[in-house]
Amino acid sequence: MMNYKGYVGKVEFDDEANIFHGEVVNLRDVITFQGESVQELRQAFQDSVEDYLAFCAERGEEPERPFSGKFTVRISPELHRKLYVHAKLQDKSLNSWINMLFEESVTYQAD
């Protein structure tokens, strides 16, 4: 995983082509990059993000920012009720309790 200006890149190695290639994974727009060494890959990642930001500026568009912190999850009413009860038993709001559960379950940080 790579991080630049809040954009997170996922990298894979293509053994046949003998090259690293990656993609920014925390937005809907497609940003890709590649390199033959770690240093070249890192530079290509940063260059691709900068190119994306410049392209958006040229078009007068706001670049897509990595995540707003809000998302919608559809669950059954019964699960919703159970989650609410568990949160209240912990003296927490549903939002803060679920946020705590998510924090505990994340195995990496994109910071």
What dihedral do alpha carbons 44, 46, 52, 53 form, nearest 10°? -160
Do 49 and 12 belong to one domain? yes
Q: Supply the pTM of this predicted model.
A: 0.64
**What's the whole-number average pLDDT of the chain?**
90
- For the stretch 78-96, pLDDT in tens is 999 999 999 999 999 999 9
Q: What is the pLDDT of residue 14?
A: 94
Total domains present in the chain: 2
Domain that holds residue 50: 2-58
Do 36 and 10 belong to one domain? yes
Do 53 and 87 belong to one domain? no
66 within domain boundaries: no
- Cβ(56)–Cβ(63) below 8 Å: yes
